Amino acid sequence: MSDPQTISTAVANLYNTYPFPPEPLLDEPPPGYNWRWHWTSAYNFCTGVKPPRQDIRILDAGCGTGVGTEYLVHLNPEATVVGIDLSAGALDVARERCQRSGANRVEFHHLSLFDVEQVPGEFDLINCVGVLHHTPDPIGGIQALAKKLAPGGLLHIFVYGELGRWEIQLMQKAIALLQGDKRGDYRDGVNVGRQVFASLPENNRIVQYEKRRWAMENQRDECFADMYVHPQEIDYNVETVFDLIDASGLDFVGFSNAGYWDIERLLGKAPELVERAKGLSDRQLYRLIELLDPEISHYEFFLSRPPLAKNNWSDDQVLLQATPERHPCMEGWPGQSIFNYDYQVVKLTDGEFEFLQACDTNSTVAEILANVSLELDEVRKLQQQQLIILSQN
């Protein structure tokens, strides 16, 4: 299957058969948050500062059944949101999902990424999760999206990684062989795949990997089909994902799962090797990390269209005059044991807790530190941990 239109039709047929993601429809806003879909949080992650405005335009490119779209609407109350997808069936679910939960600042269009120019205007935030790797031309897709990104805007991308999906690739190929001329009958493909998993020995590597990583979500046929019988998939490594990024013409801001890309996590017990790693370029370092920890199943990252103003708050006087506020993606507050923006547990010291409390007063950092026992470097640490967001005065 190589003709782009044939591929697009096959992908649409899959998602018309198995609308994805299959999350239930709710009569209320969805629970919790994903900070990558929260404009203030995403902008702060990329720049170190609070965005200058909230009345933005957001595009959910390849929105599927609207799970992310719904969050984008509810998490950004001043934004207008547009969702596009090539599956009419998935869009029907997306419309119902958003209507039922009150996500009414959204419009949907039955379009592929390659037809996104038909949507008027530019966007401040574009969300494209789990889409490009299912297209016949990912480079063409990312270039089409890049043209719709406003200056200073952010594009968040999620594509598959080849190292952590090796066993998945093997099963995909095995199912395709067993389906033969029935390939493209996605219900048959799911049935074949289920039978294969039920028949393989317990100690089989593919079985073990499925049980350890994916079995819970793959109880749902929609997820099983998306993973194992998809008609189009391109998996990446660090080198090829940066080929994709370079082709976009946009600036690479950073990976949004930043913790994975810390070499100390892997080589912290060998300081001399960490020191050697400092001599590598960023891309070489990323490649080293994925080679040493090949569990990575996807890449998620932000790109930007310049100019994108950043501040690392290294200037003491600028930091003292900044106005802090608590990060909006946080659970467990008020309390000294909280979930941070990435749902990791953080235990606050007394001074940190008092500082976060004082963020409600619309005071500057200097004014707060006059009454709270905390050092300026500890304020920087709060900012670096995404526990506070700073506005420059």
Domain ranges of the chain: 4-162+235-304, 163-228, 316-391
Q: What is the CA radius of gyration of the chain?
A: 23
- Tell which CATH classification among 3.40.50.150, 3.10.20.740, 3.20.20.450, 1.10.287.70 matches the domain 4-162+235-304: 3.40.50.150
pLDDT for position 1: 54
Q: What is the largest CA-CA distance in the chain?
A: 74
Q: What is the pLDDT along the chain (393 residues), one digit of tens a residue?
A: 568 999 999 999 999 999 999 999 999 999 999 999 999 999 999 999 999 999 999 999 999 999 999 999 999 999 999 999 999 999 999 999 999 999 999 999 999 999 999 999 999 999 999 999 999 999 999 999 999 999 999 999 999 999 999 999 999 999 999 999 999 999 999 999 999 999 999 999 999 999 999 999 999 999 999 999 999 999 999 999 999 999 999 999 999 999 999 999 999 999 999 999 999 999 999 999 999 999 999 999 999 999 999 999 999 999 999 999 999 999 999 999 999 999 999 999 999 999 999 999 999 999 999 999 999 999 999 999 999 999 998
pLDDT for position 209: 97
Q: 19 near 87, Cβ under 8 Å?
A: yes
pLDDT for position 393: 86
Q: 145 near 155, Cβ under 8 Å?
A: yes
> 3-state class of 124 per DSSP?
strand
Phi, psi of 379 (to 5 degrees): -65, -40
Q: What pTM value is reported for the model?
A: 0.97
> 3-state class of 200 per DSSP?
coil
Report angle CA 27, 32, 36 to the nearest 5 degrees.
115
Q: 192 near 171, Cβ under 8 Å?
A: no
